[in-house]
A and B are shown apart, each in its own frame.
Chain A
């Protein structure tokens, strides 16, 4: 039958491995990965190894970075060490970001998958529900939730999750709607697969690439949210976090730039790293780019 194909033995190339190779060839993505690893390592050191107390007053207030040996990044308006604050404050920020992203993804994928797969009545109801949530400006809604239900890390994570799932839901729905109509799904039904198998084993794996990208980006968004809430004074008052440092020093901005600049930079670099990784994944999963 196929004459010339017999000559070459071909190795299986899984789509996943191809994506991984693409990712590794993407320089910004690698930079993001390295940057994120460094940040996570530093935060890990601050949270679990370093015994320093971020609330301890170590020097004169608003001391310039490097003014004394033990304050390489200066002190804040109360004389607390900023570097210690950064190392200690990263933990809560990242933890809230991760758990909020998890909540977002779980709600978003469940709602979106049901709406997209079952369509019709269920889709209509779920999408109206989603639209309702999209009408509320996310940060404002999160503020209201946190104000009403006391600002703890858990409330903050839940609030961020509640306000940001609609986008994931819409994306999931769109992917499910698209894939649902592809012939391989019909083919699976033709060989006797039931709804469960089709949703979880056939459609979801194929819908996953854009969802992974969006989940990654959601971590970045959640970190920004946490920072925003803390900045507005809605952070957990008992936990040092990057946003809180900015919010607390905001009033003295024009007297001393460093207590605000460094935590902001930390947030910026973390989100940057995450979004570079997200972009890299996006390119890696994009079959159009792979052709080139």
Chain B
């Protein structure tokens, strides 16, 4: 097996809030292999976006603090690098696209300038050359009339087109890793499909590893090779996408999959689809997390130990952090 491109080990991030300091990421570890797509899935507030931002060194501070863990890119500890090298990595080696294409582009510069800026920052080319390349990139991401659109301002483009611009900017320096934080959540379904297809095409063409942050199991099925499921700041299950989707082990993952109104869950006797599975209650606020398993209060399989002790993520290819499942397996 090849070496992981990115190795994240025991990452901890804390935030200052009015309830005091809370733990937003509690020992998150995972590897990202070259040219694979790792899906990180979870509900809002589970820490999936914070994971992405901490890889980029973009946790807003204050109030955020990275308080522990190690991130290695191609075997080198990022924290040990100079600030300058860290900055060069952003955009050059690791690029990122965001959820809100509406607000993620600077409204006062043309999109051509914004893409060219990324090129000029990391590559030794002339302004004119950067311009031409940005037009090429716009063509690559399927922007019609790329020459003309390069002179457009973000507000003159639709959401889908803006997300294409974001992608063009992200791939401008041929990064090794592309982090996509809910890239299609703000878009209409037909446009979502186009963006996914574009990302798949880019992965095949450039061999980039994608980290896809999403709440959408459908996106996971279509895009991901491997999946990490997050809940309340921890990874609670990890494995191959098919394994997780077809044979989820953690009660939370099972619930999450069961409660999606999927197409094709058709027909009981009265012709209506069956009732959806429910996970009772809500995700606990971070400042109320106790010492036990954070899912214990909502879990159908809960027992005493769950309230006392945090389960660890164990397993070889399909890992899970749940006392009940682990005991069953043992």
- Write the residues of chain A forming the contact surface with B, with a CB cutoff of 8 angstroms: 1-5, 290-292
Contacts and interface: CB of A to CB of B under 8 A. Distances in A.
Interface of B: 16-18, 63, 280-282, 284, 297-298
Nearest to A289: B18
A4 B63 contact: no
A286 to B, nearest CB: 13
A17 to B, nearest CB: 16
A159 to B, nearest CB: 42
Contacts of A3: 280-281, 297-298
B18 A5 contact: no
B252 to A, nearest CB: 14
Nearest to A4: B297
A292 B298 contact: no
Is chain B's binding surface mostly helix, strand, loop or mixed? loop
Contacts of B63: 292
| A-B interface, 5 closest residue pairs, ranked by CB to CB distance from nearest | A4-B297, A3-B281, A3-B280, A4-B281, A2-B281
B22 to A, nearest CB: 13
A34 B282 CA distance: 45
A91 B215 CA distance: 64
B280 A291 contact: no
Nearest to A5: B281
Given A3-B298, A290-B18, A291-B17, 15 more contacts: A1-B280, A2-B280, A2-B281, A2-B282, A3-B280, A3-B281, A4-B281, A4-B282, A4-B284, A4-B297, A4-B298, A5-B281, A291-B18, A292-B16, A292-B18
Contacts of A4: 281-282, 284, 297-298
B229 to A, nearest CB: 20
Nearest to A290: B18
Contacts of A1: 280
Nearest to B284: A4
A3 B281 CA distance: 5
B62 to A, nearest CB: 9
A245 to B, nearest CB: 47
B17 A5 contact: no
A52 to B, nearest CB: 51
A4 B290 CA distance: 13
A291 B280 CA distance: 27
A219 to B, nearest CB: 31
A92 B162 CA distance: 60
A290 B18 CA distance: 8
B290 to A, nearest CB: 11
A1 B280 CA distance: 6
Contacts of B18: 290-292
Contacts of B281: 2-5
A292 B297 CA distance: 27
A270 B18 CA distance: 33
A4 B294 CA distance: 12
Given A3-B297, A4-B298, A292 B282 contact: no
Contacts of A290: 18
Contacts of B297: 3-4
B159 to A, nearest CB: 21
A74 B18 CA distance: 51
A253 B245 CA distance: 85
Contacts of B280: 1-3
A290 B17 CA distance: 10
A219 B283 CA distance: 47
A4 B302 CA distance: 13
A290 B19 CA distance: 11
Nearest to B278: A1
A7 B16 CA distance: 26
A2 B282 CA distance: 7
Nearest to A8: B288
B44 to A, nearest CB: 16
A291 to B, nearest CB: 7
7 contacts: A3-B280, A4-B282, A4-B297, A4-B298, A5-B281, A5-B282, A290-B18
Contacts of A5: 281-282
A186 B280 CA distance: 31
B101 to A, nearest CB: 23
Nearest to A6: B281
Nearest to B296: A4
Nearest to B280: A3
